[in-house]
Amino acid sequence: MSEVTASSIFPTAARQQVRTALELATKRTAENASRVAAELGALASQAAALGHGSIADLARRGSEQARLIDRDHAAVTACARILRELARAIEALERSPRRPHRVLVVDDSSLNATVVCDALQRAAFETRYVEDADSAVADIVRFAPDVVLVDVHMPDTTPVELCARLRAAVGARAVRLVLFSGLPDEELAVIEQETRADGFVSKERGIDAVVDEVTSVCRRLG
């Protein structure tokens, strides 16, 4: 499924998930408790991947309450309230659709950058990659990414210098910088402090960890 399609069908699918959860929550059985919790857990994951942080948080809270609905009447009330909030949030999203979060990947290896971009696109991000510092500075203005994924081993520059140039290029506009490299987490944590980056992830942890870190940073954007 393409990123545009995933983003565009999300409100309709989410609305149906909430409607189903509401119907099940009124019937207080252990089976329904599990089904509602699973339905809302899936919704939370989908919303988080698309950058809908507030919807993801509501769905997680609803999932936690749903696990108790067969044993606690107060949980039924709490779950129903959260589901109504979810329905309103989804309606607001439908009225004011938003574009997918954009990620600019800065890596001098086109092979690595392509692998990362493909994985991010499968998670519903819009992506672009560049292979040198000057192109990164130009594209952070043209592409207007929400997150820049920066390889710390770019030629002819240092992580501190590159991150400073990227911030200067966007001025007051908010953009999040995430470092990635084959270095272990301990060394990346030091570079994160030096560059004042917003996150880091080691390539040693695999492509899923890279996607998870970008998703986490985007979730904080709202």
Query: pLDDT category, 141, cuts 50, 70, 90?
Result: confident
β-bridge pairing 199-202 and 102-106:
unpaired
Q: Are 109 and 65 in contact (CB under 8 A)?
A: no
Residue 184 has pLDDT above 90, yes or no: no
Domain edges within the chain? 3-95, 102-221
Note the pLDDT tens digit of each residue in 89-103. 888 777 655 678 899
Task: Give the pLDDT score at 31.
Answer: 87
d(CA 181, CA 46): 27
Query: pLDDT category, 47, cuts 50, 70, 90?
Result: confident
* The CATH homologous superfamily of the domain defined by 102-221: Response regulator (3.40.50.2300)
Average the pLDDT over 2-27 and give the result: 71
d(CA 216, CA 198): 10
Is pTM, for the whole model, over 0.85? no
